[in-house]
């Protein structure tokens, strides 16, 4: 059928879909549904007992079921970044690329993956002080 | 050896090797080694999946947790004692007091049947395990089975290595453990097994394209439909997959065979469950399931006709049929919708599409804590390193798409989206994360080990060149991706990541997901405090009240009261009748005289409240009170939420409104509490949950009197007085 061949040209490339999927993954794991329904502030405030000044508090403490907007976005960002790191690690295996690119992908991928994991561990320790105690 | 030689053929070969020599011969073959390794890994995975879920049993005792499992336990007792037909036609008069509940037609019986079958099998094998223990250990048993099915699924998707990684990850993923610990005798315990099995068998059916494999998938779908209301997820995901395959140009005859058989056999089987019945063909929730079936038949018919007719005739036929079909379809849908035959989507599923729907329209759905949306921290808590490996798995699925990996992609994307909307659905997303991560981890490990195995020859070839000319060898720079040290480092990092994943899972299971919520345990070692108030109160009810006494409490505790206290309740966790629950909410929120009238109408003998102010238990009725007001106010406008809030603040202190301080819930919770000193240095009547002193300290009750208060004041039971003598 003649119309089908134009449909093939209309079809988006897998690479584009993969990028869109990663963007949506970022938004979902950042807790966007929680932000829309509960409308928390972007950052919280902690009143200093002595001076009375309000210090910004980025992580809603002691509760896993509450978050501030920025906190959620940063968490989701590092999840996606870790995934991108592993993707880079795989891109470095492509034999058709130049050696320079392969080395860069490998080093960058390793660095990003390890960084994301460590940052997320730090985040969860700030949020839940009783973690792994 | 027989004395008669065979007339034809050579002598049969008999080996004279000893056992040791045979074993050595087998063990040195690579194929046997691989089989041995695989079997050992799978056995350990099964044992791990079973044992990690046993924390609460080892720490406390083998007891059923939470609220819903008590109803399932009671139903299983009914099934085992009365038999299949009595259970299938069971009308329960002990809950929803004046109304009763048709249990046979409003329950998903898969879990009860599974437990009853396990019980009968163990009786038959003379391993006489008590029914309660069977119920407690059903979930870990099925968790092990799910891990094995994940192995088969991974094998079907990619290869054996992926399957093994999937099984290992599935055994300990905390998102799944949270609802399948020993003691959590709930639908999800068997439903996740059914879900993964159905998906595995469906992918197998699509890969093979035979009727037999599709029928097997349909039977797995029956098990899922009998176990959990989320079977509509499968019935919408598979048609969505078919549509996506169609749109992406990968439609094939195998998909047609698989889907048609699955639809026909699966619908018929699912309709055998009384709760589903004809909903399977008339409900809006399954519209895509049925619609895609019709669409596939139409497409195949068109293809068939095109091969038989010429192009021009075919074009005319297509035009005529399209117009006629469009008209008939539109008219038919209009008639069905107008005559009310098409059942609308239920509220719970609307929430998945429009997250703010429940908050605006159905407070009872919005009030359940499991239905709250997910925060970022739940992901890392429930999945740990899988959140990093899952996007990489999606990339691998896009890199080399096969029928199976496209299905996994569709499943994963929908599951991840839904898990963002409701915390409870993290359970459904966990298998998707596990499978994606298995693909990613297995790919990393395979590429690293491949590099480690091959370049032994290549290095010796290039090394004389490299040592002679230093850095100016064939390539300008060293290729660090092929170096042994890099790949060993990658393997080491993967090992560390998986190690941290498993230690995190064990810690999370031990700390967060193993609490038998019927018993409150706090503290360690010599400072351990066990609060067993719930069972104390329910057994008091069982032994000290009339057998036909009716108990009014908030719907959370209904199942437990009926199962352990053996008394009739007014409302319970099934929440099928919103008006009835609103009546109870109105009674709790009104003043004592109004509430007494409602309680006399409902024939209530005892009122039960949960109070945490003395012990510090924070999920008590005062904290849930605003939901009672909202639900009651949703049906009876006389209850207004603003009456209970002082300047927009919900408080029971001296700033609280008069309506709040005179409500039945306040009186029943704080009766006699004003005389108690709970904390050193604070006044009397200091509420340890709200952290302030209560407003009204001398509570007088006119129409009820205190019947029982448990040891730590967590459960308080009041007897409703009879009408006064008129003379």
Q: Least CB-CB distance to B481: which of A33, A93, A132?
A: A93
B530: its two tokens: 């066990």
Give pLDDT, residue B70: 92
Residue of chain B minimizing CA distance to A29:
B376
Q: Pick the closest to residue B409 from B428, B396, B425, B424 (CA basis).
A: B396
Strand stretches in A6-130, DSSP E: 44-47, 54-57
C-beta atoms of B380 and A79 within 8 A: yes
d(CA B1, CA A113): 68
Q: Is the sign of the CA dihedral B522, B528, B529, B530 positive or negative? A: positive
Find chain B residues with C-beta within 8 A of A33's C-beta.
355, 373-374, 420-421
Q: What is the mean pLDDT of each run of 10 residues along chain B (727 residues)?
A: 60 83 84 90 96 91 88 93 92 88 89 95 93 94 96 94 96 93 92 96 95 96 94 94 89 94 95 91 88 91 84 77 83 78 61 66 66 89 93 93 93 93 91 96 92 64 43 56 85 94 93 85 79 92 93 92 92 88 92 92 93 88 90 90 86 87 91 86 85 87 92 93 82
To the nearest 5 percent, what fractions of chain B are helix, strand and coil?
65, 5, 30
Give pLDDT, residue B355: 65
Q: Is residue B286 a contact partner of residue B349, using CB atoms and an 8 Å limit?
A: no
Q: Is residue B223 a contact partner of residue B194, using CB atoms and an 8 Å limit?
A: yes
Q: Is residue B352 a contact partner of residue B237, using CB atoms and an 8 Å limit?
A: no
Find chain B residues with C-beta within 8 A of A87's C-beta.
391-392, 395
Give pLDDT, residue B462: 44
Give pLDDT, residue B619: 86
Give pLDDT, residue B329: 82
List the beta bridge partners of residue B606: B551, B719
Is A1's pLDDT higher than 60?
no
Give pLDDT, residue B360: 66
d(CA B436, CA B409): 8
Q: Pick the closest to residue B617 from B535, B512, B520, B717 (CA basis).
A: B520
Other beta carbons within 10 angstroms of residue B572's beta carbon come to 28
Buried b (16+ CB within 10 A) or exposed e, B695-709: bbbebeeebbeebbb
C-beta atoms of B420 and A32 within 8 A: yes
Q: Is residue B481 a contact partner of residue B458, using CB atoms and an 8 Å limit?
A: no
> Which of the two residues, B238 and A57, has the higher pLDDT score?
B238
- The contacts of residue B459 (CB under 8 Å, 6+ apart) are none
Indicate the DSSP class of residue A47: E
Give pLDDT, residue A29: 93
Give pLDDT, residue B468: 44
Give pLDDT, residue B473: 41
Q: Is residue A76 a contact partner of residue A29, using CB atoms and an 8 Å limit?
A: yes
C-beta atoms of A17 and B398 within 8 A: yes
Q: Is residue B501 a contact partner of residue B381, using CB atoms and an 8 Å limit?
A: no
Please tell me if residue A77 touches chain B, with a CB cutoff of 8 Å.
Answer: no
Instruction: Give me the residue label for tokens 């001398």.
Output: B698
CA distances from B378 to A72, B375, B387, B425 (A): 11, 6, 11, 12
Note the pTM of the prediction, 2 decimals.
Answer: 0.87
- The contacts of residue B162 (CB under 8 Å, 6+ apart) are B154, B155, B438, B439, B442
Give pLDDT, residue B28: 84
d(CA B328, CA A16): 39
d(CA B220, CA B682): 60
Number of A–B residue contacts, CB under 8 Å: 161
ipTM score = 0.92
CA distances from B215 to B229, B242, B429 (A): 21, 17, 26
C-beta atoms of A29 and B416 within 8 A: yes
Q: Is residue B135 a contact partner of residue B72, using CB atoms and an 8 Å limit?
A: yes
Give pLDDT, residue B54: 93
């Amino acid at each position: 059928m003649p119309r089908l061949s134009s449909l093939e040209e209309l079809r988006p490339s897998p690479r584009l879909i993969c990028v869109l999927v990663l963007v949506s993954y970022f938004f979902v794991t950042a807790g966007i549904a929680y932000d829309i329904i509960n409308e928390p502030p972007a950052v919280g405030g902690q009143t200093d007992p002595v001076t009375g000044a309000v210090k910004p508090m980025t992580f809603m403490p002691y509760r896993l079921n509450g978050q501030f907007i920025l906190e959620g976005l940063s968490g989701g960002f590092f999840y996606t970044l870790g995934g991108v790191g592993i993707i880079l690690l795989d891109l470095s295996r492509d034999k058709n690329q130049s050696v320079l690119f392969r080395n860069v992908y490998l080093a960058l991928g390793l660095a990003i993956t390890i960084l994301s994991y460590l940052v997320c561990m730090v985040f969860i320790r700030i949020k839940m002080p009783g973690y792994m105690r | 050896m027989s004395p008669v030689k065979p007339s034809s053929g050579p002598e049969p070969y008999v080996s004279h090797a000893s056992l040791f020599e045979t074993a050595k011969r087998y063990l040195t073959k690579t194929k046997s080694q691989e089989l041995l390794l695989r079997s050992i890994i799978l056995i350990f995975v099964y044992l791990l999946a079973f044992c990690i879920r046993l924390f609460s049993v080892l720490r406390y005792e083998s007891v059923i947790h939470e609220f819903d499992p008590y109803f399932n336990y009671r139903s299983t007792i009914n099934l085992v004692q009365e038999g299949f037909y009595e259970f299938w036609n069971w009308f329960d008069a002990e809950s929803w007091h004046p109304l009763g509940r048709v249990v046979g037609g409003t329950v998903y019986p898969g879990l009860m049947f599974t437990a009853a079958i396990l019980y009968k099998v163990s009786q038959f094998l003379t391993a006489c395990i008590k029914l309660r223990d069977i119920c407690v250990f059903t979930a870990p048993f099925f968790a092990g089975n799910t891990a094995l099915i994940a192995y088969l699924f991974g094998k079907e998707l990619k290869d054996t290595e992926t399957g093994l990684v999937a099984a290992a990850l599935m055994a300990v993923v905390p998102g799944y453990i949270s609802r399948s610990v020993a003691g959590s005798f709930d639908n999800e315990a068997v439903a996740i097994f059914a879900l993964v099995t159905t998906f595995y068998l469906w992918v197998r059916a699509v890969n093979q394209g035979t009727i037999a494999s599709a029928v097997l998938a349909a039977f797995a779908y029956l098990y899922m439909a009998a176990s959990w209301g989320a079977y509509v997820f499968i019935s919408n995901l598979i048609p969505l997959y078919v549509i996506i395959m169609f749109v992406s140009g990968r439609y094939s005859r195998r998909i047609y065979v698989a889907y048609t058989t699955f639809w026909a056999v699966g619908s018929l089987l699912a309709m055998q469950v009384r709760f589903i019945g004809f909903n399977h063909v008339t409900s809006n929730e399954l519209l895509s399931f049925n619609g895609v079936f019709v669409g596939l038949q139409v497409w195949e018919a068109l293809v068939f006709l095109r091969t038989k007719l010429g192009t021009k005739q075919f074009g005319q036929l297509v035009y005529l049929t399209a117009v006629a079909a469009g008209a008939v379809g539109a008219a038919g849908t209009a008639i069905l919708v107008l005559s009310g035959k098409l059942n609308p989507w239920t509220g719970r599923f609307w929430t998945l599409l429009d997250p703010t729907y429940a908050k605006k329209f159905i407070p009872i759905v919005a009030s359940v804590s499991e239905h709250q949306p997910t925060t970022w921290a739940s992901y890392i808590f429930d999945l740990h390193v899988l959140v990093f490996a899952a996007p990489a798995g999606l990339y691998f699925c896009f890199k080399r798409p096969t029928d199976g990996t496209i299905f996994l992609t569709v499943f994963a994307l929908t599951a991840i989206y839904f898990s963002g909307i409701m915390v409870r659905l993290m359970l459904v997303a966990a298998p998707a994360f596990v499978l994606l991560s298995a693909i990613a981890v297995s790919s990393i490990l395979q590429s690293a080990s491949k590099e480690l195995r091959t370049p032994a020859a290549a290095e010796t070839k290039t090394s004389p060149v490299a040592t002679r000319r230093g850095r100016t060898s064939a390539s300008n720079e060293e290729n660090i991706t092929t170096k042994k040290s890099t790949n060993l480092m990658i393997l080491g990092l993967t090992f560390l990541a998986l190690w941290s994943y498993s230690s995190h899972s064990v810690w999370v299971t031990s700390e967060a997901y193993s609490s038998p919520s019927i018993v409150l345990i706090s503290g360690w070692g010599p400072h351990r405090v066990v609060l067993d108030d719930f069972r104390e109160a329910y057994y008091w009810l069982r032994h000290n009240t009339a057998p036909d006494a009716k108990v009014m409490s908030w719907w959370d505790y209904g199942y437990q009261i009926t199962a352990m206290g053996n008394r009739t309740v007014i409302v319970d966790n099934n929440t099928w009748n919103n008006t009835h629950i609103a009546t109870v909410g109105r009674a709790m929120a009104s003043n004592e005289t109004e509430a007494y009238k409602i309680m006399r109408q409902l024939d209530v003998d005892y009122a039960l409240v949960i109070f945490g102010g003395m012990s510090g238990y924070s999920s008590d009725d005062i904290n849930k009170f605003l939901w009672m007001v909202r639900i009651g106010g949703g049906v009876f406008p006389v209850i207004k939420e603003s009456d209970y809030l002082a300047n927009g603040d919900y408080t029971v202190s001296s700033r609280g409104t008069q309506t709040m301080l005179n409500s039945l819930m306040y009186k029943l919770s704080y009766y006699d509490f004003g005389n108690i000193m709970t904390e050193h240095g604070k006044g009397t009547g200091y509420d340890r949950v709200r952290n302030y002193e209560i407003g009204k300290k001398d509570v007088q009750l006119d129409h009820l009197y205190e019947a029982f208060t448990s040891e730590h004041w967590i459960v308080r039971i009041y007897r409703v007085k009879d009408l006064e003598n008129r003379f």
